[in-house]
Amino acid sequence: MALIVQKYGGSSVADAEKIASVARRVAESARGHRVVVVVSAMGKTTDGLLALAAAITPTPDPREMDVILSTGEQVTIGLLAMALQSLGHPACSFTGPQVGLVTDAAHTRARIKRITAERIHAALDAGRVVVVAGFQGTTEGGDITTLGRGGSDLTGVALAAALKADVCEIFTDVDGVYTADPNVVPDARKLPRISYDEMLEMAALGAKVLQARSVEFAKKHNVPVHVRSTFKPDAGTLVTREDHSMEDVVVTGVTHDRGQAKVSILRVPDRPGIASRVFGGLGAQNIVVDMIVQNISRDGLTDISFTLPRADRTRAESVLAALAREVGAEGVTADDRVAKISIVGVGMRSHAGVAARMFETLSGEGINIQMISTSEIAVSCVVEDKYAELAVRALHDVFALGAERGA
Ligand code: ADP
Ligand code: ASP
Ligand code: MG
């Protein structure tokens, strides 16, 4: 009998009716297999909990934030276990701490250290379906932690690795990983397979269908991940090791990330040690920056611009304002109206001119490129936010992603 981990996202368990239908699907799988189910909070519950905390204070204590955020998933596990029981299927629910999912103490973005999973084994041996709360764990000291937004994907993959499951199935509101967000590009095409590296880049660059850290974990532990629809029976996308045929395709997907902001520190003295002061200061506040551009120096002064998650913008601005005074810079500006557009594909390693084609396409649409960054298998451009969808569609067209793979 195969062991399967199934993860159902928030929209798949948004109300009682949907939970009952998930229970029927789980019960069907449990007829032939041992099944562990990981669930998210119902619908937009997590957003609601964040808003509640924000109504109390603009600077919530991360430890207390985790106490609040972890409640969402706990509701779903109880309801799903009950729904399974009412179908006559033995089932029991566990929270993250109950299954021994131990993390570090980085509240709201904790990293998994180990999973004991003893109680899961015992429940499976007793013939039960095990329902586990996604997104949460415990520190060594017994404090509740959460794994970052989208973290139930990581719980699913990490449990699949710990239990040596045959597959981790990610059930969601789309039926697989597409060449671009299907809600933005109508002719986006479902990919039957995608390599871990491409999926990791796409996730990190804005394709929220899988959490980036879950893909990193899957690659490291070689967990086959199958992204598929909660509402349809069809096969979805298999996230797997790279093979030679994948290199033939230059661009596999286009992504956009509208959750970023651009911050600049203006007319900074151009001398050794300034960049390390600026980014060291931000790092000390746990602010992770992404793309960095430094202008050519004129009169011994230069501008440094970078992108960061929009949620960290206000914090970054106050850290930088103080730094700007210390190092004698003229000031700090910030812009939320930016989006990062990226193309991703392992084939870029062996094909020249891909970036140039991207720039040409954007300029053909009259879209100004504010920043550029490249990796071995991706090129990203920061553009004005209002052009995000136009840019994605134009690039999707130019790289013929709506056509058959390999075209
Ligand atoms: P869940 O609640 O199940 O975790 P998410 O909302 O986190 O679901 O992820 C699914 C969403 O990801 C889809 O509704 C889709 O809009 C978005 N998405 C973005 N890029 C892609 C892509 N390349 N392929 C499929 N879905 C994508
Ligand atoms: N409920 C959490 C979130 O909305 C975790 C998840 O759904 O994966 O981010
Ligand atoms: Mg998700």
Does 256 score more than 90 pLDDT?
Answer: yes
Listed residue (402, 340, 359, 349) closest to 179, CA to CA = 402
What distance in angstroms lies between residue 36's CA and the mean position of ligand 2's atoms? Answer: 18
Residues making up the chain, counted from first to last: 407
**pLDDT of res. 134:** 98
Q: Using 50, 70 and 90 to split pLDDT, how confident is the model at 406? A: very low
**pLDDT of res. 405:** 44
Q: Is 135 in the pocket of ligand 2 (CB under 6 A)?
A: yes
Q: Rounded distance, CA 43 to CA 235, Å?
A: 24
Q: Which residues in 136-259 belong to E strands, given as ranges?
A: 136-138, 144-146, 167-172, 193-195, 225-229, 237-240, 253-257
- As residues whose CB is below 5 A from the ion ligand 3, the structure lists 9, 150
Q: Using 50, 70 and 90 to split pLDDT, how confident is the model at 50? A: very high
Q: Rounded distance, CA 252 to CA 16, Å?
A: 37
**pLDDT of res. 403:** 60
Q: Using 50, 70 and 90 to split pLDDT, how confident is the model at 259? A: very high
State pTM to two decimals.
Answer: 0.93
Percent of the chain with pLDDT over 70: 99
Residue 286, exposed/middle/buried by CB under 10 A (0-12, 13-18, 19+)? exposed
Q: Is 157 in the pocket of ligand 1 (CB under 6 A)?
A: no
Q: Is 10 in the pocket of ligand 2 (CB under 6 A)?
A: yes
Q: Is 207 in the pocket of ligand 1 (CB under 6 A)?
A: yes
- Tens digits of residue pLDDT in 283-317: 988 888 999 998 888 889 999 999 999 988 988 99
212 — phi, psi (to 5°)?
Answer: -55, -40
**pLDDT of res. 249:** 84
For the segment 7-11, the average pLDDT, to the nearest whole number, is 98
Does 139 score more than 70 pLDDT?
Answer: yes
- Tens digits of residue pLDDT in 207-243: 999 999 999 999 999 999 999 999 999 999 999 998 8
User: Are 159 and 118 a contacting pair, CB within 8 Å?
Assistant: no
**pLDDT of res. 404:** 55
**Ligand 1 closest atom vs CA 207:** 20
Q: Is 236 in the pocket of ligand 1 (CB under 6 A)?
A: no
Listed residue (130, 105, 100, 133) closest to 117, CA to CA = 100
Task: Indicate which residue's Cα is closest to atom 12 of ligand 1.
Answer: 209
Q: Is 108 in the pocket of ligand 1 (CB under 6 A)?
A: no
* Helix (H) or strand (E) segment spanning residue 3: strand 3-8
Q: Is 70 in the pocket of ligand 2 (CB under 6 A)?
A: no
Which ligand number lies closest to the CA of residue 45? 2
Q: Rounded distance, CA 145 to CA 137, Å?
A: 5
- Tens digits of residue pLDDT in 81-130: 999 999 999 999 999 999 999 999 999 999 999 999 999 999 999 999 99
**Ligand 2 closest atom vs CA 72:** 1
**pLDDT of res. 383:** 97
Least confident of 82-96, 157-171, 181-195, 269-283: 269-283
What distance in angstroms lies between residue 292's CA and the mean position of ligand 2's atoms? Answer: 29
Q: Which residues contact 10 (CB under 8 A, 6 or more apart)?
A: 40, 41, 42, 43, 44, 45, 46
What distance in angstroms lies between residue 28's CA and the mean position of ligand 1's atoms? Answer: 25
For the segment 184-209, the average pLDDT, to the nearest whole number, is 96
Q: Is 174 in the pocket of ligand 1 (CB under 6 A)?
A: yes
